[in-house]
Structure 1
């Protein structure tokens, strides 16, 4: 009996072990199946602590041009043509009409002027994307200045791209101007229907060089009334600076005072006008212009010019 009782005891123990073994196997199997259906990545605390932190979002990196447009309007090569005045021009970056022609290069910090032959202004056959100075934006150009008042315009600019003509030579474009204007009294005196007078100064980007043109009286002895007519003035022979600027940035400065006009390139070369023609020009009012006034009507022509800085003072 003792032998049989011991045998029974061993058998019960064996059965219990087997039962526990089977139960554990089932739990392991269920856990494996659960992990297969719902995989979970487990990282211990030390490993989690050593994880690289979330990368910080990079700050926006852009540069805006150093140009205040509060006293400028812009003319576009579309419409009759289209003009945008202050305060609308101050929002040029979001203005859908301006965007194709007048926009920021925020990588280099420039204001871009793009134009092509299309709409033209009165007294001209060429198109432009060009700024016109407004001393008093509220009167839309009626307030202007004389050489006696004096004025200064400085700019840093760069030709980005321009088309070529049929002879594979670059077209030219006007990048700065001083334009004349008749007072209302002068206009009425000579019977004109607008206040337009000739431009005393045109500065061109001309095949990679900066070229200056001014006006001269056809008859130096003309009366003051005769001088008010556009037909009384002709073009001079022009002056081209020695420095080849090409497609690199360059600086231009224009200074005017009574009886004198001065144009300076890169604070190095200059041309001074102080002859009888400039002295007699004092009868006119004037305003500055800056931009991209393309001097061609060739099909497919274009020019893209950048201004990094532009400043006017009186």
Structure 2
């Protein structure tokens, strides 16, 4: 009799646990805590599903095509950037696509540009220490970026060809000591890597020394560097999702598309680039001033490690 009662009590306890877990599961789905396909899959009270991008913005600031003319583009840093979805200034240029679970960057030709360019952007800038542009990384320290991206929409030029957009960059930076050494007014150095969405294909451009024997101090001058001829991956991504990975180590840089095509840079130019600090950039840097031009770039995933 005692054994039967113990067995009954055990079965009843298991039943209560199962019911409890089922109730918790239902509550979690209703409050939007379930994770699905890399984005938070949420359900509203009306039963309509929507997704939010799973991108950590705590180490990024964003610059948008809004502000007071050349050099006056607005930037928003952490922690304010974390509230982008309710920030009235950011909302037109950086917003969620709750159907696909992507973070969208919108840009158009604007008078509000950054100091050293004529083009406008809606673009993230890495900050290793949130809110501080002065902490960056070198090739010796290394860096890795992985992103899943999609071109949502983009305008065409007068010939009917799609405009170009820079979607990822590694930008160089002078330390304060280097800036003072060469008498430059700011910390800006050239971008060692630009990755373009170019008429449906992914194109990579990097920097080369004009004279490989340039001494160390001479490396700090922008005039010492020029663009290489560029490299275009064979696969046409068009308006589909694609994965890009950038991996940097001392004297080397590797760029891959969809884990299928690879472009390696392992040469004197990458070795000499070690003199600079660097930071990653990601988003929508529209490469035209054409009237009525625009681009919308989706980021489904964006991860950086050092």
Flag the 1:274–1:57 CA change in 2: closer, same or farther, 3 A.
closer
Choose which of 39, 53, 62 in structure 2 pairs with 1:74: 62
Question: Of the candidates 55, 58, 62, which is equivalent to residue 46 of structure 2?
Answer: 58
Alignment size in residue pairs: 258
- Which residue of 1 is the match for residue 133 of structure 2? 141
Instruction: State the secondary structure of the residue aligned to 1:278.
Output: helix
CA shift, 1:120, in A, is 1.0
Structure 1 residue 244 corresponds to structure 2 residue 232 = no
State the shift of 1:59 in Å. Answer: 2.8
TM-score by structure 1 length? Answer: 0.81
Cα displacement string for residues 114-168 of structure 1 (whole angstroms, at most 9, x for unaligned residues): 0001011111110000000000014x21000000000000000100000111111
Which residue of the other structure, out of 104, 109, 130, is the alignment partner of 2:123?
130
Task: Return the offset for 1:60.
Answer: 4.1
Q: CA deviation at 1:58?
A: 3.3
TM score, norm. by length of structure 2: 0.83
Q: Distance in 2 between matches of 1:141 and 1:222?
A: 28
Extract unaligned runs of 5+ from structure 2: 1-43
Q: CA deviation at 1:62?
A: 1.1
Structure 2 equivalent of residue 267 of structure 1: 259
Unaligned runs of 5+ in 1: 1-55
- Alignment partners' CA distance in 2, 1:125 and 1:218: 25
Within the candidate set 216, 222, 232, 1:224 is matched to: 216
Query: Helix, strand or coil: the match of 2:115?
Result: coil
Alignment of 1:171 with 2:163, yes or no, is yes
Which aligned pairs between 1:286-301 and structure 2 lie closer than 5 A? 286-301=278-293
Moved over 3 A (4+): none
1:254 matched to 2:242? The reply is: no
| Structure number having the greater strand percentage | 2
Whether 2:295 is the aligned partner of 1:303: answer yes
Partners of 1:231 and 1:292 lie apart in 2 by: 26
Aligned with 2:270 (options 258, 278, 292)? 278
In the TM superposition, 1:12-161 aligns within 5 A as 58-79=46-67, 80-118=72-110, 119-138=112-131, 140-161=132-153
C-alpha distance in structure 2 between counterparts of 1:122 and 1:237, whole Å? 26
Q: 1:78 deviation in Å?
A: 1.1
Match of 1:47 in 2: none
1:53-91 per-residue CA deviation (whole Å, 9 max, x = no partner) reads: xxx953341111120000000000110100011111000
Q: What's the Cα RMSD here?
A: 1.0
